Structures are given as C-alpha cells and as structure tokens.
Amino acid sequence: MISAQGLSHSYRTRFGVVEAVRGVDLEVAEGEMVGFLGPNGAGKTTTVRMLTTLLAPGGGTATVAGHDVVRERAAVRRAIGYVGQSSGGTEHLVSDELRTQARLQGLTAVQAAARTAELTAQFELDAFAGRPLSRLSGGQRRRVDLALGLVHRPAVLFLDEPSSGLDPQSRANLWDHLRSLRAQHGTTVFLTTHYLEEADQLCDRIVVIDGGRVIASDTAEALKSRIGGDVVTLETDRISDAATVVARLVPGCDLDTTPAGVQFHVAHAQRLLPELLRALDLADVALESVSVKRPTLDDVFLRLTGRSLREEGRPAPAPAPAAAPAAESESAGTETATETETPNTEVTT
C-alpha cells in the first residue's frame, strides 16, 4: 500500500543544507498499522509530507495505493486521509464540518448527510455533533479529526502524533477507534508517534527512523527480543551458589553478580522460572526476591540510537556546513509551489 525506495529530501537553509531524509525504504502492506517512530528531528514529518504529496522528494521514488507520489499526486490525494496534529477549533459545528468536508469530496447533499450520520455513530460523536469545534475536549476533537479524515473512505490513513496531548483515558479511547477502524474497514494506517506505548499497543510493525535513515523495522516483540531477552534478578546472600545454578541452567548467559544477588538475560524468563526455582531450592539457595523485567521499546530505542525516546527537548541535529559537497546540494529537494496546498484530504486548518 505504501512503498518507498531511497526517498530523500534536504532543506536548504541560510546556515547550510539539512539532510532531513537520507534514502528511506519502506513497504507497508494493505491493512497494516505501522508506527513511524523516531526522536525529534529524525525525519518523520518530512517523510510523511513526501508520502502525502505535500513535499516533492529530492531523490528516490514512492507509491501510495499504487500511485506515484510525484507523477500521480491527485490520485494519491484521493486515496489517502491525512490527520495532522490537532489545531484547536473554530465556531463551526461538528456536524456542519463533517457535511462540508463530505460535499468537498464530491458527495451529493443526501450522500453527505448519510455519511455524516454514519461517521457520527462510528466515532461516538452524537452527544456533541451540534457543538462548535472550539468547545470540544482534546479527545473529542481528535475523534472529529479522524472522522474528517475518513469522510471519503480512504484506503490509507496517515496520522501525525494522533494522541499527542491527550489524557490516558482519551488516548485509550482513540486507540479503540483506530483498532475497530482497521478491523471493520481494513484501512491501512501509518502513524508517527513519540509515545512508545502507542506504537507498542497499536501497531503491527514499528519502523524506527533516526538521522533521516530507517534503522529498524519489525514487530514490537521482535525488536524487544533483540535486547537479549528479559532481565532476571535474584536477590540472595548465597550469591556464588545461585550463580552456579544459573550458569548450569542457562549456559553462556551474560551473568552479573551484584551486591544483593545475581542478574542475567534470558529470552523467555517465564518459561525458565519454574525450573530455576526448583534447582535453586535443591541447591539450598534461599531467595529474598525474584524479579523479571521485560525489555521495553525504550530499551530497544536506547540500544539502537544511544538515546532514550523518553528524553524531552533534545536539540535537532545541526545543519551540514554551508560548503556542503556538490552532490549533497544537488540532492536537495525543492519545496514545490504546491507545498502550501493541502491535499484534499487534509483536515487540519
């Protein structure tokens, strides 16, 4: 549904050339929900803007729903929904906004009213359909944004930070809506996020971008298993006996002793624990405590990038020096005249 090969874009600034995206390859299958994860300045927005035809690629090629993002921009725009970061509200009523969007998409007045009713029910907007957008909560506004992005039944939905700024309950509610959207309509969803939990819980696959390059692409579970498994910590005062038992049961594991006991990595701790506890008991090793810590996506991110995605306020990478090599300057993409246009599926105002 989304396919990109060597997609790149550089911005020319008065300080030099910023290579924002440096050869991104992507494959997203029909019906997949993919999380595009990366720290500030990694190149997420620039990539999404190229895929949604808002920005001309400086290099590489991409198709969305089978249409080339450069040569078939109008067809791409018809096939996608794009929900940007929420943009506050206007005095327009929710139902009017939905109907207007439907008319803009070419539906007749009767069809637009029917589609508005359908989306109002689907996203549980009935209670506030007659309210101005400016008087909605953040979570309600996001649901309206989603409904607006789906008016024309796009095959692919791009979401930029969908739950940014939402409280946990509204976030969980939004995730439920996204899950049922996919289950009921098979919509392909490509979302950027800073929330590791969002990517973990919602997405079939996670693509990690850093420094303008894709550095990993896999399921959350597979990414976590790259960390080397769960961390098991045994607290005991019989440290060397405990270490002997662990070394026998998990040969070759990276066993550490700590002042309070031993610690090691193992792929599936829950499968090992019964046998380990029996073996420790047989060796007369009394335990104060056992703890198992599953690796998180943040551990993965730290391993991949040397940085934690939870860190806030990291500076964006500095631009390359002004005297950049000719090849880099030539690869700089041009921001086309249409860049200020929004695709006909754009819903942020």
Ligand X SMILES: Nc1ncnc2c1ncn2[C@@H]1O[C@H](COP(=O)(O)OP(=O)(O)OP(=O)(O)O)[C@@H](O)[C@H]1O
163 binds ligand X (CB under 6 A): no
Which whole-number Å values give the CA distances from 45 to 117, 154, 193, 205, in the listed order? 32, 20, 10, 18
Nearer to ligand X, 188 or 193 (CB): 193
DSSP-assigned beta bridge partners for residue 217: 207
Nearer to ligand X, 22 or 78 (CB): 22
Q: What is the nearest approach in angstroms of ligand X to the Cβ of residue 318?
A: 8
Nearer to ligand X, 21 or 151 (CB): 21
Nearer to ligand X, 252 or 306 (CB): 306
Given the rule CB under 6 A, which of 36-44, 112-120, 240-248, 251-259 is the region that contacts ligand X?
36-44
Q: What is the nearest approach in angstroms of ligand X to the Cβ of residue 292?
A: 33
85 binds ligand X (CB under 6 A): no
- Among residues 8, 45, 52, 263, the one that binds ligand X under rule CB under 6 A: 45
Given the rule CB under 6 A, which of 33-41, 99-107, 257-265, 289-297 is the region that contacts ligand X?
33-41
Determine contact, residues 239/261, Cβ cutoff 8 Å.
Answer: yes
Measured between alpha carbons, how far is 252 from 147 in angstroms, rounded to an integer? 53
Measured between alpha carbons, how far is 333 from 116 in angstroms, rounded to an integer? 39
Given the rule CB under 6 A, which of 37-45, 183-191, 300-308, 320-328 is the region that contacts ligand X?
37-45
18 binds ligand X (CB under 6 A): yes
199 binds ligand X (CB under 6 A): no
DSSP H/E element including 345 = none
Of residues 305 through 334, those in contact with ligand X by CB under 6 A are 316-317
57 binds ligand X (CB under 6 A): no
β-pair type (67-68, 80-83)? unpaired
Q: What is the nearest approach in angstroms of ligand X to the Cβ of residue 319?
A: 7
DSSP H/E element including 217 = strand 213-218
Q: What is the nearest approach in angstroms of ligand X to the Cβ of residue 71?
A: 23
38 binds ligand X (CB under 6 A): yes
**Comparing C-alpha atoms, which of 63, 58, 24 is closest to residue 42?**
24
Measured between alpha carbons, how far is 97 from 155 in angstroms, rounded to an integer? 22
Two structure tokens written together for 20: 């924002």
Nearer to ligand X, 44 or 182 (CB): 44
Q: What is the nearest approach in angstroms of ligand X to the Cβ of residue 45?
A: 3
Two structure tokens written together for 14: 């008065």
Nearer to ligand X, 10 or 188 (CB): 10
Q: Is 21 helix (H, G, I), strand (E, B) or coil?
A: strand
DSSP-assigned beta bridge partners for residue 210: 213
Cα Rg of the chain (Å, integer): 25
* Count of positions (residues) in the chain: 349
Given the rule CB under 6 A, which of 13-21, 120-128, 139-147, 269-277 is the region that contacts ligand X?
13-21
Nearer to ligand X, 13 or 291 (CB): 13
80 binds ligand X (CB under 6 A): no
Determine contact, residues 304/3, Cβ cutoff 8 Å.
Answer: no
- Provide the edge-to-edge strand list for the sheet that holds 67-68: 16-28, 2-13, 59-64, 67-68
Q: Which amino acid is present at 257?
A: T
Q: How many residues belong to the site for ligand X (CB under 6 A)?
A: 14
Residues forming contacts to ligand X in the complex (CB under 6 A) are: 11, 13, 18, 20, 38, 40-46, 316-317
